[in-house]
Structure 1
Amino acid sequence: MGLSSRTVQIKIKSSGDVFHELWKTDPHQVPSLTPTTIQNCQTHEGEVGTVGSVLLWNYFHDGKDRVSKTQIMEIDEGKKSITFKLLEGDLTELYKTFIIHVHVDTHGLSNLVTWTVEYEKLSPDVPDPDTLMEFYEKVTKDIETHHLKN
């Protein structure tokens, strides 16, 4: 089985720069902005905001509490993108490879958040990560709602 991908794009009215900075330098704040989906984020290794740092996530997906450990693989300030690679956790029971890209296009008051996952299934009967794409969309909307209130 080869690498496949899924993408979801979400228009946001809140600041794209703030959204990018949140994921890059302060992911520990994400649980307070979207507590029904992400409960916790801890630095496991390295320094937040640097390539190579490892984050441990507790989240709620498909009706279950889940855990994942991700490593920041790339930060591109020019493109306002961050790439995370799954190292450990519940998703490793389904996918051999799971890479998450979050990218923000900023255009004044019109900003676009793009989540792309690249994945390789462990077997053909493993579902595509469509519900995870819905999860990323909800997380994005929750963060936007919080920023628009403040």
Structure 2
Amino acid sequence: MVLAGKLITELGIKSPGEKFFKLFASELHEVHKVCERVHHAKLHEGEDWHHNDSVKHWTYVIDGEVHTCNEQVEEVDEQNKKITFKLFGGDIENYKVLKLILEVIIKDNGTSALRWTIDYEKNNENVDTPNGWMDYLSKSTRDIDGHLVKGENVVL
């Protein structure tokens, strides 16, 4: 059985890609206000939500169940509009590695898409592949995109 792998999905979005990237790069603390699957988010360690040393604690719903984990920004590539988040603790204990990689793709015709990659390594073969995460990310993307399309400010 495979212990490590990647799950990838690309989703077209209606909002400007730059706006979506900005939300995740500098306004991440607002995501729980526009996404019904994120119940709570708080700064767990550090002074700034977007510093690589800061740790955030998240409460969210996957497959109808409430979960928790900690998250840390591992890398922000402003030029390529790519952010890597490392998840750990809480309900992530069954994985040696669980990373969420967000890439905003600006297409030649002016439209945008998001590519989510889940990079994972399970502790053992009894651990499920994180397929529920892909559904969570897809639905959360739709929530956030809908909010951004309305032209509302992220700060509520």
CA contact (8 A) 1:54 1:69 kept: yes
- Partner amino acid, structure 1, of 2:8: T
CA contact (8 A) 2:3 2:124 kept: no
Which digits, 9 at most, give the CA deviation of each residue in 1:124-148, with x for residues without a partner?
A: 1222111110110001011011111
CA contact (8 A) 1:80 1:104 kept: yes
Which digits, 9 at most, give the CA deviation of each residue in 1:94-150, with x for residues without a partner?
A: 212111111101236411101111111122122211111011000101101111122
The match for 1:106 is: 106
CA contact (8 A) 1:14 1:148 kept: yes
The match for 2:134 is: 133
CA contact (8 A) 2:3 2:123 kept: no
Q: Identity over aligned residues, as a percent? A: 31
The match for 1:52 is: 53
Q: Distance in 2 between matches of 1:105 and 1:49?
A: 21
The match for 1:17 is: 18
Q: Distance in 2 between matches of 1:106 and 1:48?
A: 26
The match for 1:95 is: 95
Q: Distance in 1 between matches of 2:79 and 2:62?
A: 32
Which digits, 9 at most, give the CA deviation of each residue in 1:28-83, with x for residues without a partner?
A: 11111112x00111122231222222111110112211111011110100011111
Unpaired segments ≥5 residues, structure 1: none
Q: Distance in 2 between matches of 1:53 and 1:16?
A: 25
Unpaired segments ≥5 residues, structure 2: 152-156
Displacement after TM superposition at 1:2 (Å): 5.0
RMSD of Structure 2 on Structure 1 (CA): 1.5
CA contact (8 A) 1:28 1:40 kept: no
Instruction: For residue 44 of structure 1, give the secondary structure of its aligned residue in structure 2.
Output: strand
TM-score (norm 1): 0.91
* 4+ aligned runs moved over 3 Å, structure 1: none
**How many equivalent residue pairs?**
148
The match for 1:118 is: 119
The match for 1:27 is: 28
Instruction: For residue 89 of structure 2, give the secondary structure of its aligned residue in structure 1.
Output: strand
TM-score (norm 2): 0.88
